[in-house]
């Protein structure tokens, strides 16, 4: 009975949203004249919980930089102004991008009616999506990749975050036999079982979770949700992190207006606004007014918020939780370690082979982005020394010699790394170098049959 009532209520709510949308369609104005160094995008729409995140997500997914933002959503109307540039710091002049913004946020968009159910969720059947959350440790990505390779799963896209001793990943895999989604239920069950064992490791006090589904989620949004649900914002006892390096987050109540005011000061970086808005939305807070300024090395964000039930922050414990969660949201994407970029022909087992080489050279992956386009693997890894020392340039050169110096490049290295003569990486490209090594030697899995 309750399920029927809930279903009927959802239908009524959707019809009401459609009615409001027809009466008050979103309006988008893109202005390249009024500001000399940025494109100004103004979005007006009927207000609802989550709409701010959706707008920011559209702009962020286009790799646009939001240098300033003014937010107002008091009452039943949502009005935002964003100053945006491309990654080179220039105005947005490309017609395809401008058209996409208009179609995604304007009258013909569909984000308003689907906002409450999910944000950034689409479906597809050309791959299988695997969500992972568990204890972080050196070599974890290598072990996960080895399990998937042994079970004939090819990783075509993946993103891995680590924070506060926890690791989360979303990996899109295909069946290496047909290039499509993995449909064998027995194999999927084995994937979940073995990956849970790997993620749990020796830490029996914290859960490890693996979810397998056919479809696509908005990867970064989902990673925030996974780590937030895993309570990665709770710092371990005796955490030695330097307070000076942590974001400056403050929450106070504005009694006259019945708001809580959140202020954030931290080093600016790409997608910072998305990360903070995403977390406040997940915590069921509504931004009524906001001001964002990221012109310069430091970003400043100020928000007037209330909980979705209409109340400001009620207690000191709640205030501390908001602060901790926003700190975690900012820190999750911070790129610690040396940046390595790999570009080569994709093949089954490539990720497993590369990360195994990292592990054998005492390098741990702190963050990773794995992408496959037109048969090419375009991967970015942030690596650090497993013992906590600065990464040794000689170790990096040894790794590059093994993989191929034209295949693996160093980005942002504080020291100049001199090229070293090496053998052709042909064997690495085709995987022959590793065929003699059994994954069973790692103690991970037995051959699947």
Nearest CA to 250 among 320, 180, 146, 173? 320
Q: What is the DSSP string of 345-376?
A: E--TTHHHHHHHHHHHTTEEEEEEEEEEETTE
CB-based contacts of 441, cutoff 8 Å, min separation 6: none
Alpha-carbon gap, residue 400 to 425, rounded angstroms: 10
CA atoms within a 13 Å half-sphere pointing along the CA-CB vector of 63:
5
Yes or no: say if 326 and 276 are a contact pair by the CB < 8 Å rule.
yes
pLDDT at 41: 97
Q: Look up residue 139 and give its two tokens.
A: 């070599």
Nearest CA to 129 among 223, 241, 49? 223
Q: Are strands 338-345 and 376-385 parallel, antiparallel or unpaired?
A: antiparallel
Nearest CA to 55 among 107, 104, 121, 21? 104
Domains and their CATH numbers in the chain = 1-109 (3.30.70.260), 128-232+336-411 (3.30.70.260), 248-332 (3.30.70.260)
Alpha-carbon gap, residue 431 to 354, rounded angstroms: 10
pLDDT at 138: 93
Nearest CA to 282 among 335, 240, 222? 222
Alpha-carbon gap, residue 218 to 58, rounded angstroms: 11
Distances from the Cα of 81 to the Cα of 67, 88, 89, 425, angstroms: 11, 21, 18, 50
Nearest CA to 305 among 8, 77, 3, 74? 74
pLDDT per residue of the chain (449 residues) written in tens, 0 to 9: 544 545 455 555 555 555 555 556 789 999 999 999 999 999 998 888 889 999 999 999 999 999 999 999 877 788 999 999 999 999 999 999 999 999 999 877 654 333 333 333 333 468 899 999 999 999 999 999 999 999 999 999 999 999 999 999 999 999 988 889 888 889 999 999 999 999 987 666 567 888 887 666 789 999 999 999 999 999 865 555 556 578 999 999 998 889 999 999 999 999 999 999 999 999 999 999 999 999 788 999 999 999 999 999 999 999 999 999 999 999 999 877 899 999 999 999 999 999 999 999 999 999 999 999 999 999 999 999 998 888 999 999 999 999 999 999 998 654 544 444 444 454 454 454 444 333 333 333 333 33
């Amino acid at each position: 009975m309750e399920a029927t009532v809930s279903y009927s209520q959802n239908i009524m709510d959707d019809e009401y949203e459609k009615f409001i949308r027809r009466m008050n369609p979103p309006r988008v104005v893109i202005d390249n004249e009024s500001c000399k160094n940025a494109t100004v995008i103004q979005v007006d729409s009927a207000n609802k919980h989550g709409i701010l995140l959706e707008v920011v997500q559209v702009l962020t997914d286009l790799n646009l930089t939001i240098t300033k933002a003014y937010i107002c959503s008091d009452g039943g109307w949502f009005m935002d102004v964003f100053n945006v540039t491309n990654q080179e710091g220039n105005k947005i002049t490309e017609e395809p991008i401008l058209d996409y913004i208009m179609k995604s946020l304007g009258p013909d968009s569909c984000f308003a009616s689907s906002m409450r159910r999910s944000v950034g969720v689409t479906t597809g059947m050309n791959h299988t999506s695997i969500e992972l959350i568990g204890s972080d440790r050196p070599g974890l990505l290598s072990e996960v990749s080895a399990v998937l390779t042994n079970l004939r799963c090819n990783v075509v896209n993946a993103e891995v975050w680590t924070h506060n001793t926890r690791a989360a990943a979303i990996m899109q895999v295909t069946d290496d036999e047909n290039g499509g989604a993995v449909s064998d239920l027995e194999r999927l069950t084995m994937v979940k079982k073995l990956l849970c064992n790997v993620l749990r490791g020796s830490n029996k006090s914290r859960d490890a979770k693996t979810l397998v589904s056919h479809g696509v989620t908005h990867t970064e949004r989902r990673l925030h949700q996974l780590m937030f649900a895993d309570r990665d914002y709770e710092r371990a006892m005796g955490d030695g992190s330097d307070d000076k390096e942590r974001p400056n987050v403050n929450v106070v109540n504005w009694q006259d207006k019945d708001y809580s005011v959140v202020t954030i000061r931290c080093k600016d970086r790409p997608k910072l606004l998305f990360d903070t808005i995403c977390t406040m939305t997940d915590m069921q807070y509504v931004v009524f007014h906001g001001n964002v300024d990221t012109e310069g090395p430091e970003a400043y964000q100020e928000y007037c918020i209330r909980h979705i039930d209409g109340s400001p922050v009620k207690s000191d414990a709640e205030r501390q939780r908001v602060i901790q969660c926003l700190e975690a949201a900012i820190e999750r994407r911070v790129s610690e370690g040396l940046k390595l970029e790999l570009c080569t022909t994709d093949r089954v087992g490539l990720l497993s082979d590369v990360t195994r080489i990292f592990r054998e050279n005492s390098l741990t992956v702190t963050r990773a982005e794995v992408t496959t386009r037109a048969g090419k693997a375009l991967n970015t890894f942030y690596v650090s020394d497993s013992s906590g020392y600065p990464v040794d340039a000689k170790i990096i050169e040894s790794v590059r010699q093994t993989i191929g110096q034209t295949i693996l490049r160093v980005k942002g290295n504080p020291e100049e790394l001199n090229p070293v003569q090496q053998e052709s990486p042909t064997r690495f490209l085709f995987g022959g170098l590793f065929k003699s090594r059994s994954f069973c030697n790692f103690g991970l899995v037995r051959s699947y049959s």
